[in-house]
Amino acid sequence: MNEKIELGVINSLKVNRVSEPGIYLIAGDEEEVLLPNCYVTKEMEIDSMLDVFIYTDSEDRLVSTTLTPYAMKNDFASLEVIDFAQFGAFLDIGLPKDLLVPKNKQKTTYNIGDRKVIQVIEDDKTGRLIGSEKFVLSKEPENLNIGDEVEILLYSKTPLGFKTIVNNEFEGLIYHNEIFENIQIGDKKRAYIKLIREDGKIDISLQKFGAKKGDDNPSKVLEILEQNGGELGFTYKSDAEDIKDVFAMSKKAFKASLTNLIDSNKIVLEETKIKLK
């Protein structure tokens, strides 16, 4: 059980009493929070434990829900803009109350239907959860090493490449000339640490690298062939962009994979296509 009720995260609390608007849950310090009737079930008996998310209602009172939001406090997420006002924009966070991104926390233009990568933070002045495009990131990537697999969220496109959030905590960059698949802002992907710079920023690769670089590419070609009936209209002469779209690899890597598969007698190369043997 949580010793104290904590805003913006999942809390484990005990059912303490029943009231007209719902049931009240209690933490170890005896502070209570309401779980409205719309979330109450018959299984929620006095003294039973519940895992609930804590946020604030329209009157800035703490309230709980059994729903899980798209992002919690300090998390980064790509959320849809569903409304805006003079003082800010509202994003769908998966709760009855939308997430406000105040004007002073915005860095880009907001339109309904846009998706924005934001960080969920607690507003110091109001005690509410809000969204911000002015990220707070750690500059000391401890416990990370070159070659480690990480989770990234793409949040900005620059002349050099795509800026990313690494493991929900650090800043990374994927260079344009190392991207061999279609990606866009808001994508979440598994990736690999290529370099950790002195300023704490991280160079990211979407492909495994090292002594066995490219070993997975022939298997990827075989898998995509199997998914498409055993043949595809690709050869050594195919367009690099078409190869990137279908196989998510460079033309050089694709040609090396074809040679590998032909030599190992797994595919047949015809004039206008490749086929599984």
Q: What is the pLDDT of residues 172-198, one digit of tens each?
A: 999 998 888 889 999 999 999 999 988
pLDDT confidence of residue 211: 39
Domain 217-276 has what CATH class?
A: mainly alpha
Pick 10-65's CATH classification: 3.90.226.10, 2.40.30.10, 3.40.50.1470, 2.40.50.140.
2.40.50.140
For residue 208, the model assigns a pLDDT of 77
Global pTM reads 0.78
Q: Where in the chain is the domain with CATH 2.40.50.140?
A: 10-65, 76-132, 149-205
State whether CATH 2.40.50.140 applies to domain 149-205. Answer: yes
Residues of the chain predicted below pLDDT 50:
211-213
In the three-class reduction of DSSP (H, G, I as helix; E, B as strand; rest coil), residue 36 is classed as strand
Each residue's pLDDT tens digit, 10-39: 999 999 999 999 999 999 999 999 999 999
Which DSSP letter does residue 150 get? E
Residue 22 tokens read as 């719902």
Average pLDDT, the chain: 92
- The size of the chain, in residues, is 277
What pLDDT, on a 0 to 100 scale, did the predictor assign at position 66? 97
CATH of domain 76-132: 2.40.50.140
Kindly compute the dihedral angle of the four CA atoms of residues 157, 158, 164, 169, in this order, to the nearest 10 degrees: -130
